[in-house]
Amino acid sequence: MVTLTYTAGEHMAYMLSEHQDRDDVVVRIKLTKGDVEMQPDKIRLGDETFDHNGNVVLVLDQQTSQLLGNKTIDLMTDDEGSHLIIKD
């Protein structure tokens, strides 16, 4: 099962605050050709959801969830800024 760290959840909540006009917007992670894409989306039937402070901030479809397995989604900060990363 995929794990979302607290700091990654905070970052996603901040990203979603840019869409305050829509309370149904969440972050969706998709894997395409080995790349990880994040995009605003809505919850769909069958999605795995991840909450932060009582609000859903992240969704994964079943295929993405299975491909990620037991990975952790975390936040890394470096000289270029903050980035969501997927780690073992």
Domain boundaries, the chain: 3-87
Percent helix, strand, coil in the chain, to 5, is 25, 45, 30
What average pLDDT score do residues 43-51 get?
Answer: 95
Query: How much is the pTM?
Result: 0.85
From the options 3.40.50.740, 3.30.930.10, 3.40.640.10, 2.60.300.12, give the CATH code of 3-87.
Answer: 2.60.300.12
Question: Which amino acid appears at position 45 of this protein?
Answer: L
> How many whole angstroms separate alpha carbon 64 and alpha carbon 47?
10
- pLDDT tens profile 1-28: 899 999 999 999 988 888 767 778 999 9
Element (H, E) at 72: strand 72-78
What average pLDDT score do residues 31-42 get?
Answer: 84
> How many whole angstroms separate alpha carbon 15 and alpha carbon 87?
21
User: What per-residue confidence (pLDDT) applies to 66?
Assistant: 92
Give the model's confidence band at 83: pLDDT under 50 very low, under 70 low, under 90 confident, else very high.
confident
